[in-house]
Amino acid sequence: MRVEIDDDNCRGHGVCCAVCPEVFDINDDGYAVVLLDVIPAGLEASVRKAASGCPERAITVS
């Protein structure tokens, strides 16, 4: 699994960081970033929950 954040849509709400801090963080500009290139199987459910909870729908899971 891979995950991407659309920088144009992210508004820095931080929902993804609250749901899955192992994968998401907030950068110095206040926007979400992905910490891992490939998501481990044990975190896939949390990443999907973070993506579905993003108010801006800025997270894409593939």
**Would you give per-residue pLDDT tens digits along the chain (62 residues)?**
999 999 999 999 999 999 999 999 999 999 999 999 999 999 999 999 999 999 999 999 99
Those residues with Cβ within 8 angstroms of residue 42's Cβ, 6 or more apart along the chain or in another chain: none
Q: What is the secondary structure of 7-46 as a DSSP string?
A: TTT-----HHHHH-TTTEEE-TTS-EEE--SS--GGGHHH
Q: Are 11 and 35 in contact (CB under 8 A)?
A: no
**CATH code for residues 3-61:** 3.30.70.20
Maximum Cα–Cα distance across the chain = 29
Per-residue pLDDT at 2? 95
Per-residue pLDDT at 53? 97
> pTM for this one?
0.94
Per-residue pLDDT at 3? 98
Domain ranges of the chain: 3-61
